[in-house]
Structure 1
Amino acid sequence: MSNLIIGLTGGIGSGKTTVANLFKRYDIDIIDADIVARQIVAQGSHALDKIKEHFGHDYLLDDGQLNRPKLRTKVFQDPAAKAWLNALLHPLIRSEMTRQCQNAKSPYCLLVAPLLIENGLYKTVDKVLVVDISEDEQIQRTMVRDNNDKAQVEAIMKSQLAREQRLKFADYIITNNTITNNTGEQPLLESKVEALHRQFIKLISS
């Protein structure tokens, strides 16, 4: 088991995956809440059966897998549906993430979760690392990445903790400015991750 669990979070479009992938270069185990969430509702799972029973067969694709876009639209529009789904999935996701953290082999591990703070997962980690960018940049990046309009992105952002509140929980912050190879900002991000990696190793040995 890793001696140290670092919770990695940030708003949508902030670059959490980019940062997590840079930590992977140091052979650090990454436990990603989004990946775990997909595993929990995989075909044949108990959770998928419950979703089908509650919402109906039309929330499944023809191949029997979960229709994620349809369910996402439903829970954003229906608070009761969101509450029901969260009550089903959050305990299962939390349990699986805990199991994966316990089985991590690297000196420390990263628990990557967009809603680390909102769902209280920050209480289960040793330190919180926030990837931070401006709200305007969040909107622009997410619109390009997900092919969403501005209103959709802003609705998602409103469902997450406000930037200022999120930063209050941070033990460490990575400011992830626009990454363009011409300006050398990618190497700058790499150097920030390297510096944090060294700090985390020191924490373990101190």
Structure 2
Amino acid sequence: MNIGLTGGIATGKSTVSSMLIRKGALLVDADIIAREVMLPGHPVLAAVAAHFGQDIIQADGQLDRKKLGEVIFNDPEERLALNGITHPAIRQEIRRQMAEYEAAYPDRLVVVDIPLLYESELQTLFEKVVAVYVPREKQIERLMERDKITEEQALARLNSQMDIEQKKSMADEVIDNSGTMEETSEQVDKLWSRLVP
């Protein structure tokens, strides 16, 4: 069985995916794939540099994520342009890894962690979608603390994604990660028993 795992920035998707992995799930991580397509020498990075200009590339050939972030978090059209360049390659790699896992381990739960699952309209790839949820105020608080950014910067990032309440209402299952680790772990245990016979 495969599930799509989503949520907003700083809701704790990594925490939940780690708990599922410890239980025996296999993970396909869209964030890791997204970083890999932005490595020096990758055709996707070359296409991004062609669109956004060479100044988003550092002297060592690496992407200057901060510079690119300043552009895309403040300009919805440029964010769409970036997604148009990167998403097809990311989707292709997600599908490849899912197929590989499903062929090699037909009895294991495959968890695909995709922050922008609904925004990318990928929900049809999965048997179930699980959203990791915390209220927006907590999201802002955690994001400011985690990334050492201002409230204004945190809001710009949150506003670049679908609202967490909307994701919560669309999901088949919800893990509320606004309490203690124990409470989250308990919900993951219950989810696991529903998903893995």
Residue in structure 1 matched with residue 34 of structure 2 by the alignment: 37
Q: What are the residue-to-residue correspondences of 1:1-206 with 2, within 5 Å? A: 4-104=1-101, 105=105, 107-178=108-179, 185-202=180-197
- Residue 64 of structure 1 aligns to a residue whose secondary structure is coil
Offset at residue 148 of structure 1 (A): 1.0
Paired AA for residue 187 in structure 2: K
- Residue 40 of structure 2 aligns to a residue whose secondary structure is coil
Query: Distance in 1 between the 2:30 and 2:147 partners?
Result: 19
- Residue 188 of structure 1 aligns to a residue whose secondary structure is helix
**TM-score, normalising length: structure 1:** 0.88
CA displacement, residues 60-87 of structure 1 (integer Å, 9 cap, x when unaligned)? 1121111111111112233332222111
Paired AA for residue 75 in structure 2: D
Identity %: 36
Structure 1 residue runs of 5 or longer lacking an equivalent are 179-184
Q: What is the aligned residue count?
A: 193
Offset at residue 166 of structure 1 (A): 1.2
- Residue 78 of structure 2 aligns to a residue whose secondary structure is helix
CA displacement, residues 167-206 of structure 1 (integer Å, 9 cap, x when unaligned)? 221111111124xxxxxx222222221221121112xxxx
**TM-score, normalising length: structure 2:** 0.92
Q: CA RMSD in A?
A: 1.4
Paired AA for residue 59 in structure 1: I
Paired AA for residue 8 in structure 2: G
Structure 2 residue runs of 5 or longer lacking an equivalent are none
Residue in structure 2 matched with residue 181 of structure 1 by the alignment: none
Query: Distance in 2 between the 1:140 and 1:116 partners?
Result: 23
Query: Distance in 1 between the 2:156 and 2:76 partners?
Result: 13
Query: Distance in 2 between the 1:160 and 1:50 partners?
Result: 23
Query: Distance in 2 between the 1:76 and 1:195 partners?
Result: 36
> More deviation in 91-100 or 193-202?
193-202
Offset at residue 134 of structure 1 (A): 1.1
